[in-house]
Amino acid sequence: MSMNGAKNLLKRQKGASPLSTAQEKESQKSLGKKWDRPSREACLMETAKIWAKRGTCLRAEVGSVLEKGGRIISLGYVGSSPGADHCLDKGCLMDKNIKGCVRGTHSEINVIGFAARYGISTEGSTLYVTVSPCLGCSQAILASGIKKVVYLKKYRDLSGIENLERNNIIVEEFLNKGGEIK
């Protein structure tokens, strides 16, 4: 190794930037401008939207993310129980009384169930979900200790939101104020 190569290596090891002079100047220029960086909340909701695409029900694409301390602890989407027929394969199984498909398990139940199966505490967590919870899912949310629910769109039946609010769970519609994910 040449003497100059050794000096450069030593500088990098002491914390000097490994960037070229031109890169350093460009980096320093950008320090004055605001970073175009999405908020953590935007990232969590975007993750829920991506997981919604995994759903197997033909009627609804819903995804959920459970987070605690800003970190994802569980993910879920609308889908049939393990080993059961999927709507994609057999069609939706409609129930006239609830006016919906009963073949798939709701995203919120799946996200809570995954955490339970693997011993992950949901106490004090926040749920990001692409569609607000139905009444049944709101009851599971209450039982699991989730403290806050953030939803992207309202479900046609608002009794789930009402039940959560009545039981002092924070419920918020997601308004992306923290940067667009491109």
Catalytic residue IDs: 108
Angle formed at CA 111 by CA 114 and CA 136, multiple of 5 degrees: 120
Q: Which residue has the tokens 């939207």?
A: 49
